[in-house]
Every structure is written in structure tokens, then in C-alpha cells.
């Protein structure tokens, strides 16, 4: 005596499996570092337009003057707030209007965005990867 399955049951299970696979794939793609060029570092010096302390990633929107002096908005993706707290961050570490310098791994596509590496706050404190004048003087960092 076998269990008889209704014809719609197999279709529903198959559809559910496809949905689970698609969701898993998009979640992995979202967290993929491939969109950032980890071989390059760019220093962005500008004014904080927004600091978003949210999951899954905190972010900074920065107004950065270009070579002609016009303001460009750069998006900086960061780690989760939980991990940032472990690195000394608080939800009010960066505020609208703060003048900061942020080092990022830029987007490969050339758009105005990047992955957070470090930040030099207006008060001189540095958070993130070690920021050294040695790195800056060797031309590894710079826009």
C-alpha cells in the first residue's frame, strides 16, 4: 500500500523548492564582494548627508566635491551595526553635516559608491582599518 500523492502536491513542492533556491541565491549575491574592487582604495573627503544605522548594513551618504567643485553623492556600504559596535561605533558616531574622510574600495562599475575601509572623523579619531600617512604618501589611497 503506497501513499498516493495528489497531482498538485508535486507541483507545489517543486514550486516551493524553486522559490527557496531563488531566495538563497539572491541573498548570496547581495553579500557578494565582487562588485567592489578590493585592489583599489579611494579617499573621499566631504560632508555627511546621511548616516543610516540599519540592518543588514549601515551606510553613509557623503557629499564630495569633484574636480570642478560640483558636489557628487557617494554611497558607502558598511558592516552591520552589531559588528560596528564591536569596532567602537555608535549610532551617533557620524551625523548630518560632519566633515569626514572615508576610505573605500570603489565599485567596479565606476559609479559613486564603495565598500567602507576606514573613516577619519572631524575630531581626528580613526575607525576601521588602520589609516596611515604612509599608505597615503605611497599613493595607494587617493582620489
pLDDT per position as a tens digit, 47-66: 999 999 999 999 999 999 99
How sure is the predictor about 34, in pLDDT bands with cuts at 50, 70 and 90? confident
84 lies in some domain: yes
Which among 24-28, 74-78, 135-139 has the top mean pLDDT? 74-78
Q: What is the CATH number of the domain that holds 112?
A: 2.40.50.140
Domain ranges, residue 86: 35-137
| Mean residue pLDDT across the chain | 78
117 lies in some domain: yes
What residues does 119 pair with on adjacent strands? 102, 127
**In this structure, what are the phi and psi dihedrals at residue 101, rounded to the nearest 5 degrees?**
-120, 125
- pLDDT, tens digit, 9 for 90 and up, residues 55-99: 999 999 999 999 999 999 999 999 999 999 988 899 999 999 999
2 lies in some domain: no
More confident residue, 46 or 110: 46
User: What local confidence, expressed as pLDDT, does residue 1 receive?
Assistant: 55
CA angle 77, 81, 86 (to 5 degrees): 115
Number of domains in the chain: 1
Contacts of 120 (CB under 8 A, 6+ apart): 100, 101, 102, 126, 131
Q: Please compute the mean of the pLDDT values over residues 9-16 and round it to a whole number.
A: 48
Q: At residue 142, does pLDDT exceed 50?
A: no
12 lies in some domain: no
Q: At residue 9, does pLDDT exceed 80?
A: no
6 lies in some domain: no
Report helix, strand or coil for 30.
helix
30 lies in some domain: no
Amino acid at each position: 500500500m503506497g501513499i498516493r500523492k495528489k497531482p498538485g502536491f508535486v507541483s507545489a513542492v517543486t514550486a516551493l523548492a524553486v522559490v527557496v533556491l531563488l531566495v538563497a541565491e539572491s541573498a548570496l549575491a547581495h553579500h557578494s564582494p565582487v562588485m567592489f574592487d578590493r585592489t583599489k582604495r579611494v579617499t573621499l573627503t566631504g560632508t555627511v548627508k546621511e548616516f543610516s544605522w540599519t540592518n543588514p548594513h549601515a551606510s553613509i551618504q557623503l557629499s564630495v566635491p569633484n574636480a570642478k567643485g560640483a558636489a557628487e553623492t557617494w554611497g558607502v556600504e558598511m558592516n552591520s551595526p552589531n559588528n560596528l559596535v564591536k569596532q567602537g561605533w555608535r549610532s551617533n558616531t557620524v551625523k548630518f553635516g560632519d566633515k569626514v574622510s572615508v576610505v573605500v574600495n570603489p565599485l567596479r562599475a565606476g559609479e559613486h559608491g564603495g565598500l567602507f575601509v576606514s573613516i577619519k572623523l572631524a575630531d581626528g579619531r580613526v575607525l576601521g582599518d588602520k589609516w596611515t600617512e604612509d599608505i597615503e604618501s605611497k599613493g595607494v589611497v587617493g582620489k
